[in-house]
Amino acid sequence: MSSLVIQTSFLGDTVLSTPLIAALAAREPVDVVVTPLGASLLRDNPAVRALMVYDKRGRDAGIAGLRRLARELRGKYSAVYLAQGSLRSAVLARAARIPRRVGFDTSAGRALYTERIRYRRDAHHAERLWRLAAGDDAPSPPPEVIRPHLYPSAADRAAVDALLTELPAGGPLVGLAPGSIWGTKRWPHVAALTTLLDEVRFVVIGSGEDAALAETVAAAAPGRVLDATGRLTLLASAELIRRCAVLVANDSAPTHLASGVDTPTITLFGPTVPAFGFGPLAPRSEAIGVDGLECRPCHPHGPRECPLGHFACMQTLEPSRVAARVRNLLSHHPASQ
């Protein structure tokens, strides 16, 4: 028999599901239900037998799409692991008549589960997801067990090779990921950071929606910034991050892409905190935030606007502090030794 993982949440959650998938694949074949973007991240992952694309906001929206996928899944799996805990995912698993349904005891769909795993608020989310396979009683895993892994292809590597020809040779390459779908997670001092690191070349990573941010960064450090926003696939972006000595990112998907390719990361936390379980996992990574603010954290994801109007959690995170941490990480990079 084989297992199914349902993960139709944010892209970062999809990356953090790879240790769960690997743990299951060590026992039996594993298929994964994912969004179209999630499928692009898990492409070529050797632990995945097949990807089942669930376009829940497009062609599969509504009850008709759910029924179609349930029929496709029916009779194929002995167990399903609900990495995405919505009621919709639970209904899908139940409608597919999968006998063993494993999910978190806090999930919206938990009433339809046959097994409930404790949601450990003090653990990294990658460990929480891994425990869906390992169980509540498993000992704490070593870091390498819960570190995610991504698998860029030869085409992804070629795309990055071509892109990097646009950047003159010089100092170490530092990645900048200034965007986030949550407005208050965007650190406003990225451009200022580049002026403090005049020995460094930069590449700005993100979607096409981050192009305006990239323009601001490029204007602050002319000749030292490559704008890669909107120019690469997700896995090619991960490959580009792999080429960087350090990535500076907000609490957003690029942090998890970096974890998946072992690039040291400085993750900037504003309205959220690392204790929520979404900090960087690559070796030598750091999480930075402004301590001592009574209003922090204020939201599990990051509100669209600061509830108090001052945005102090990001405004007062000084560029000089971040620059010092970048230099420290660069001092341990092989190209700098």
**pLDDT tens per residue across span 31-89:** 999 999 999 999 999 999 999 999 999 899 999 999 999 999 999 999 999 999 999 99
The pLDDT of residue 6: 98
CA 206, 211, 217: angle at the middle one, nearest 5? 90
**pLDDT tens per residue across span 102-122:** 999 999 999 999 999 999 999
pLDDT band at 335 (very low <50, low <70, confident <90, very high): low
pTM of the model: 0.95
In 3D space, the residue among 259, 316, 276 whose CA is nearest the CA of residue 293 turns out to be: 316
7 SS3 class: strand
**pLDDT at residue 336 above 70?**
no
The pLDDT of residue 183: 87
* Beta-strand runs (E) in the chain: 3-7, 30-34, 50-53, 79-82, 100-104, 115-117, 173-177, 201-204, 225-227, 246-250, 265-269, 286-289
The pLDDT of residue 333: 77
Q: Do domains 3-146 and 154-336 have the same CATH topology?
A: yes
Pair of tokens at residue 232: 């690469």
Euclidean distance between CA atoms 181 and 262, whole angstroms: 24
**pLDDT tens per residue across span 241-273:** 999 999 999 999 999 999 999 999 999 999 999
CATH no., domain 154-336? 3.40.50.2000
Q: What is the DSSP code (8-state) at residue 112? A: G
Q: Which helix (DSSP H) or strand (DSSP E) does residue 98 occupy?
A: none
32 SS3 class: strand
The percent of residues above 70 in pLDDT, for the chain, comes to 99
Torsion sign (Cα): 88, 89, 91, 92: positive
The pLDDT of residue 332: 85
Euclidean distance between CA atoms 314 and 303, whole angstroms: 13
Backbone angles phi, psi at 315, to 5 degrees: -60, -35
**pLDDT tens per residue across span 286-306:** 999 999 999 999 998 889 899
**pLDDT tens per residue across span 191-247:** 999 999 999 999 999 999 999 999 999 999 999 999 999 999 999 999 999 999 999
Torsion sign (Cα): 39, 42, 45, 49: negative
Q: Which helix (DSSP H) or strand (DSSP E) does residue 280 occupy?
A: none
The pLDDT of residue 181: 87
Q: Residue 295 CB: number of other CB atoms within 10 A?
A: 12
pLDDT band at 1 (very low <50, low <70, confident <90, very high): confident
Give the strand order in the sheet containing 201-204.
225-227, 201-204, 173-177, 246-250, 265-269, 286-289
Pick the CATH number of 3-146 from 3.40.50.2000, 3.40.50.150, 3.40.50.2300, 3.20.20.70: 3.40.50.2000
pLDDT band at 337 (very low <50, low <70, confident <90, very high): very low
Per domain, the residue ranges of the chain are 3-146, 154-336
